[in-house]
Structure 1
Amino acid sequence: MTALRFDTYDWSGGREAMLRFGSDAGPIVIAALPLFEEANRTRQFLVTILRALAALGIGSVLPDLPGTGESIVATGEARLRDQRTAYTDLAQYLGRNTYGISIRSGALFDTDAALAGRWQLSAQTGEDLLRELDRARVASRSAQASETDYAGNTLSHEMLADLRDATPHAGAGHLRGVRLESDPREADVKYAASPLWRRSEPDNDIPLVQIIARDISHWIASCER
């Protein structure tokens, strides 16, 4: 099993924890989980991808961004702009051969970072995320809760404003969009699998992990040429 190391990184607003996988030499990946409950449902899946990448010779980090994971910043105090700043500072620290991989709303974090490339699985806009949180609030019969209470997540008005206008990076540079076959939106490639972020409990998909790890490895190799 690939060694996992605990580490920290500094950003302009403080210090956060991160996990390191594989070698520090050569290209390195910053991995970004989606926001809120989807992070819990996909964390094991993403960690397994990072272990598979390490076995292929690609190192990676999985950071806690402000207001996520074990961050000392409470969810209700989180701002997307701070999460983007922390991501950007980490990318600058890691260096020029740094790639971003993200799942769902995790694609909203890397927009300002100087990355060698971006690989996005089912990238989601902030507006789409808020729409899904609204549906979850209604489904859980909590529609009478505070207007900033989204399915158990208390979000600031500032965070909500940040998310309403947030979109993934779509500018110049190496960008690979990946989706599942059930998703009608355009993508560079689609894979047959069920969306783990829709399941009621955290889960994994080892066959999809192996497919994605190879996809990312080949994509990075093409970017490095």
Structure 2
Amino acid sequence: MLSTWPCRTGDEFALCFDSGRDYRILVSPALFDESNKLRHFTAQLMRALDAAGLDAFLPDLPGQNESLAGLSQQTLAGWADEMAAAAQHFQATHILTIRAGAALAPDLPGWDYAPLPPAKQLKSMLRGRTLAAREAGREETSAALLERGRTEGLELAGYALGPQMIAGLADADNMPPSRRRTIEKAELPGAGLWLRAEPDHDADQVSAMAALIVAEAQQ
């Protein structure tokens, strides 16, 4: 299941369920702190898709997970280019994006789960930092942090983001139109896992989303 794929920065890991089937789904995961909260959900969803007869691929991008590339050197546009390269490498027929991962998606049919403009995720991460600073007796504002981040980079939610990444996130305030179907959170049972304080899992959500994707892929 663990494999590697060739990035511009060298080989990166990928979680793969590959049996050479007709439907080959590339997964563009949630980003940063939401990726951590949704990692188990994403992996279990891929297992469910595999059990239903669909191949699925989750590539690490430079600076993510086990990558040896520095996160502070990465850009949102660079990640989008790598996701397009991954689609070609894995011969993807469809794509499933999760939250802000929709901003990285190549032009393939598929699904966007609760898509989130990167600028909104950045805003949330900035707000989290200002709240933590206030609890520590420091005053920081989101506006000042963003201005500094555009030139110096910032550490947000434990992630060291470079100035180009900060600028790319801040300027991506709308999702581009796509030919993918949006899966609204209300279509799955329970609250969004990204809203929970710690990483968690919900087997019912996995089952519901897998059933939806399988039914629609095979129409």
| Coarse TM-score class (shorter-chain normalised) | 0.7 to 0.9
CA deviations 1:192-218 (Å, max 9, x no partner) are: 321111112211111111110011111
2:133 is paired with a residue whose SS is: coil
Q: Decide whether the 8 Å contact of 1:49 with 1:210 is kept in 2.
A: yes
| Post-superposition offset of 1:118 | 2.6
Distance 1:55 1:22, change over 3 A: farther
Q: Are 2:113 and 1:121 equivalent residues in the alignment?
A: yes
Q: Decide whether the 8 Å contact of 1:35 with 1:68 is kept in 2.
A: no
CA deviations 1:91-125 (Å, max 9, x no partner) are: 11222x52111211111111xx242x131111011
**AA aligned opposite 2:87:** A
Q: Decide whether the 8 Å contact of 1:68 with 1:75 is kept in 2.
A: yes
Match of 1:211 in 2: 208
Partner of residue 88 from structure 2, selected from 73, 92, 96 = 92
5+ long unaligned stretches in structure 2:
none
* Structure 1 residues 102-181: aligned runs within 5 Å: 102-110=97-105, 113-115=106-108, 117-141=109-133, 144=140, 147=149, 148-166=154-172, 167-171=174-178, 173=179, 175-181=180-186
TM-score (norm 1): 0.83
Distance 1:49 1:121, change over 3 A: same
Across the aligned residues of Structure 1 and Structure 2, the Cα RMSD in angstroms comes to 1.9
**AA aligned opposite 1:220:** A
**AA aligned opposite 2:98:** I
TM-score (norm 2): 0.86
> How many residue pairs get matched?
204
Partner of residue 191 from structure 1, selected from 188, 192, 195 = 188
Distance 1:84 1:209, change over 3 A: same
Match of 1:19 in 2: 15
* Structure 1 residues 26-65: aligned runs within 5 Å: 26-65=22-61
Distance 1:98 1:17, change over 3 A: same
**Structure-2 separation of matches of 1:207 and 1:71:** 31
**Structure-2 separation of matches of 1:138 and 1:132:** 10
**Structure-1 separation of matches of 2:18 and 2:86:** 17
Distance 1:16 1:7, change over 3 A: same
2:218 is paired with a residue whose SS is: helix
1:208 is paired with a residue whose SS is: helix
Q: Decide whether the 8 Å contact of 1:22 with 1:55 is kept in 2.
A: no
| Post-superposition offset of 1:22 | 4.6
Q: Decide whether the 8 Å contact of 2:21 with 2:53 is kept in 1.
A: no
Q: Percent sequence identity over matched residues?
A: 28
**Structure-1 separation of matches of 2:123 and 2:107:** 30
Partner of residue 79 from structure 2, selected from 83, 93, 99 = 83
1:141 is paired with a residue whose SS is: helix
5+ long unaligned stretches in structure 1:
182-189
